Amino acid sequence: MTQSATAAPSRPAAPAAAGGLMRRLNVFTGIVAGLLLATATWWVTSSTFPTLDSGDHKDDAVTILTLVAWVVGFLVGVGAFVGPVRWLRGKDLTHEDELYLAGKDLGAWRYLKFTTDHKVVGMQYLVITMVLFACGGTLAMLIRTNLITPGSRFVDPATYNSFVGIHGIIMVIATIVMVSGPFGNFILPIMIGARDMSFPRLNALSFWLLFAAVPVLLSALVLGGISTGWSAYAPLADQANRGMDAFLVTIVTFAISTGVAGMNITTTAVKLRARGMSWSRTPIFVFGTVASVALGLVAFPMFEVAMILLGMDRGMGAGFYDASIGGSAWLYSNLFWLMGHPEVYVILLPAIVALMEITPVFTRKPLFSFTSAVLGIAGIAGLSLFVWAHHMYVSGWAPVLGGPFMVTTELISIPTGLLFLVLLGTLWRGRVWMRLPVMAVYALLWNFTIGGITGIYLSDIPVDQAMHGSMFVTAHFHYTLMGAGLTGAMGALAYWFPKMTGRMLDERWGAIGFWVAQVGFNVTFMGMFAVGLAAEPRRVADPGTYFHVGNLVSSIGAYTIMLGMLTFLGALIHSWRAGEVAGANPWGARTLEWQTPTPVPLENFEVLPVVTEDFYGYSENGHGADGVSPPTTPGAPPERVEVGAP
């Protein structure tokens, strides 16, 4: 935590004049540039690429390059490369330019520009996450509608498979970013007492990469769909139509986005914590979010590589996954699950630690066993890198590894148990102020208990022989990712909504929506456990008559979820526009983000805080229930004020 006070970066002698091209760039110029470059690339590649004898690789190569061109063109057009280009030309950004990039005095426009302020990026992430959930949720409803009656032809099998794949990948992307995107960007820097992230431009880049990836993903719908499920197993993925090209470009773009964001969040948490905020005084949300994004830094490149190889297979017939020319389908499944299992903890950890932040506030008690929380997070993050092959118990690949992977998989229940201990211990004898955020803790602990226990069945190799690839698995991971993950994210949203929007989230309609969705969720996936036990395979367009009742129950539950989610969304939108105006610290919380004014000013703190104790000291050392006596003293050495200034 040492910071050189003297190393002020030397500015170029002749700074560029205020104004210039960068002030004219926004999302619309980005779209235009993206479309132009994509069209040009399509024209050049389709008229120059040879048609190979070995198959229809040309179409795939053209599609992949066109979509990549869209992403690059969009980023150029939105102004993502203004900083580096100006630096290369020897006309580095002036302080005024930096403030402009941070969105100073730009009003609502700053949300449509390459804006570096972490709070703007956080809001952008929040909106895009909700858009993704809306798309993924709509697809889920279509899937459930098709499964209401056996032999249903609501959609044909090709469309059904495509819906399953696109629903899967949209939800995976949305849940990965749902906490570390909005709250990791908006809240985390304030929570650690920083003025912004370590790399504000990379922060904006991570969002706009995700933004550029969304239309690529949705283009799969018109390019023939993603017919493989989101796991995109090769060689089925080699065989699939051009929707697969959109899929792989999406994944590569998204992996770069999460890589940039993960590096940024990690560096920020390590380097920019306020003076006095030692690790044992750092809020647990920071630990969990950093563990999650750092895990992503290891995991997602696996998927990225898998997709680049797939792109070479499809675009040029390289044959990495083609057994007939020496490739292997198991190479793909290993790479996929090397990402796939850490990924579920990338999703879960931030949601759980958000609730660990919430529980002390609403029980007016310290977080129980901070050590357990840190141990649990570290244990999960570490072990989760060594469990991937439990997804391949029945694949036939290296049966000898079944035993060791069963050991690692079941060991992970121990650190997971510690996270339960922390939440339960914090609830223990607390005076629970039953507001919407803390309701999520109850829902999560209920759902995650079921999700965790059903995971134990699947970790057992013989049992997995019966359950692998069945609806039981689908129900299990929805209990963890939706029942625990999304529930936690909804709690986090209810909790930080007043700080982010300046208004309170409507408690009544928010809670009604939340609980209707929770009940619907349990109905849906209990029904799905039942049909899974009765041996309905997952991802089947027509499960047949034997599973009729369970599927009907699941579909009714799914519509209930929709009803609840729409109510919650309605409450959210209404509160955002016209809700009760929130004070700076409506919950009486002690962490630093609540000690700033609402709306949070551009550089967060007038004077950077100095931390003298941790943030969970409720009822200790004479802190009253008002919670507004933060463990900080104002006043900081002047060099600290410069830290992180854009």
Does position 453 bind another protein by CB under 8 A?
Answer: yes
Query: According to CB under 8 A, which one of 449, 526, 548, 566 is a site residue for another protein?
Result: 449
| Other C-beta atoms lying within 10 Å of the C-beta of residue 375 | 16
CA dist 109 and 28 (Å) reads: 11
From candidates 106, 121, 450, 608, binder to another protein by CB under 8 A: 450
Distance (Å, whole) CA 572 – CA 494: 9
From residue 17 to residue 56, the character string flagging contacts with another protein as x (rule: CB under 8 A) and all else as - is ----------------------------------------
Stretch in the footprint of another protein (CB under 8 A) among 79-87, 105-113, 274-282, 364-372: 364-372
Contacts (CB under 8 A) with another protein, residues 510-529: 529
Tell which one of 19, 84, 469, 601 touches another protein (CB under 8 A). Answer: 469
CA atoms within 13 Å, Cβ hemisphere of 245: 24
Whose Cβ is closer to another protein: residue 266's or residue 585's?
585
| Nearest approach, Cβ of residue 20 and another protein (Å) | 51
Q: Among 44, 155, 394, 641, which residue sits at the site for another protein (rule: CB under 8 A)?
A: 394
Question: What is the Cα–Cα distance from 288 to 293, expressed in whole angstroms?
Answer: 9
Q: Interface residues for another protein in 128-167 (CB under 8 A)?
A: 157-158, 161, 164
* Closer by beta carbon to another protein, 89 or else 431: 431
Q: How far is the CB of 373 from another protein (least distance, A)?
A: 11
Contact segment (CB under 8 A) with another protein among 34-42, 383-391, 567-575, 615-623 equals 615-623
Distance of CA 555 to the CA centre of its chain: 26
In the complex, minimum distance from the CB of residue 220 to another protein, in angstroms, rounded to a whole number: 16
Shortest approach of another protein to residue 358 CB, angstroms? Answer: 13
* Binding positions for another protein, 568-587, rule CB under 8 A: 587
Residues numbered 395 to 424 that lie near another protein (CB under 8 A) are: 395-396, 402-403, 406-407, 410-411, 413-414, 417-418, 420-421, 424
The residue (of 450 and 643) whose beta carbon lies closer to another protein is 450
**Residues composing the chain:** 646
Torsion region of 17: left, alpha or beta (phi above 0 gives left; psi -120 to 50 gives alpha): beta
Kindly state the smallest distance separating residue 541's Cβ from another protein, in Å: 5
Give the pair of three-digit tokens for residue 328: 């292997």
Q: How many residues bind another protein (CB under 8 A)?
A: 93
Among 256, 530, 582, 608, binds another protein (CB under 8 A): 530
- Count CA within 13 A, CB hemisphere, residue 392: 26
Residue 548 binds to another protein (criterion: CB under 8 A): no
Cβ–Cβ contacts within 10 Å for residue 516, how many?
Answer: 19
**Least CB distance to another protein at residue 190 (A):** 22
Least Å from the CB of residue 312 to another protein: 18
Task: Say how far residue 5 (Cα) sits from the centre of its chain.
Answer: 36
Task: In whole angstroms, give the CA distance from residue 389 to residue 384.
Answer: 11
- Shortest Cβ 526–another protein spacing (Å): 11
Interface with another protein in residues 322-351 (CB under 8 A)? 323-324, 328-330
> Tokens 């060099």 sit at which residue?
639
**Nearer of residues 243 and 262 to another protein, judged by Cβ:** 243
- When binding is defined by CB under 8 A, the residue of 371, 612, 629, 633 that contacts another protein is 371
| Residue 585 vs residues 76, 491, 512, 590, 630: alpha-carbon distances, Å | 40, 17, 24, 9, 11
Chain mean position to CA 271: 23
Closest distance of CB 19 from another protein, Å: 50
Q: What single-letter amino acid sits at 444? A: L
Which residues within the stretch 219-258 sit at the binding site for another protein (CB under 8 A)?
227-229, 233-236, 239
Q: CA 171 to CA 134: how far, in whole Å?
A: 10
Q: Calculate Rg over the CA atoms of the chain.
A: 25
Site for another protein in 157-216 (CB under 8 A): 157-158, 161, 164
Kindly indicate which of the ranges 75-83, 309-317, 448-456, 636-644 contains the residues binding another protein, using the contact rule CB under 8 A. Answer: 448-456
Min separation Cβ 435 and another protein, Å: 8
Residue whose CB is less far from another protein, 253 or 416: 416
- Map residue 585 onto helix, strand or coil: coil
Q: What is the dihedral of CA 569, 571, 574, 580, to 10 degrees?
A: -140
Residue whose token pair is 């803790």: 441
457 binding another protein? (CB under 8 A): yes
| CA separation for the pair 14, 62 (Å, rounded) | 44
SS3 (DSSP) at 610: strand
Contact characters 82-121, another protein, x per CB under 8 A: ----------------------------------------
Which one among 9, 50, 462, 638 touches another protein, defined by CB under 8 A? Answer: 462
- Cα–Cα distance, 347 to 289 (Å, whole number): 10
Residue whose pair of structure tokens reads 């390289």 in the numeric block? 318
Q: What is d(CA 230, CA 254) in angstroms, rounded to the nearest whole number? A: 14
Rounded Cα distance between 73 and 60, Å, is 20
SS (H, E, C) 495-529: HHHHHHHCECCCHHHHHHHHHHHHHHHHHHHHHHH
Applying CB under 8 A, the span of 40-48, 112-120, 623-631, 632-640 interacting with another protein comes to 623-631
Neighbours of 494 (CB within 10 A): 27
Q: Considering beta carbons, is residue 5 or 158 the nearer one to another protein?
A: 158
User: CB 476 → another protein: shortest distance, Å?
Assistant: 13
Token pair 């690949």 is found at 397
Q: State the Cα–Cα distance between residues 183 and 489, nearest whole angstrom.
A: 9
Choose, by CB under 8 A, the member of 470, 501, 522, 555 that binds another protein. 470
Closest separation between CB of residue 370 and another protein, Å? 8
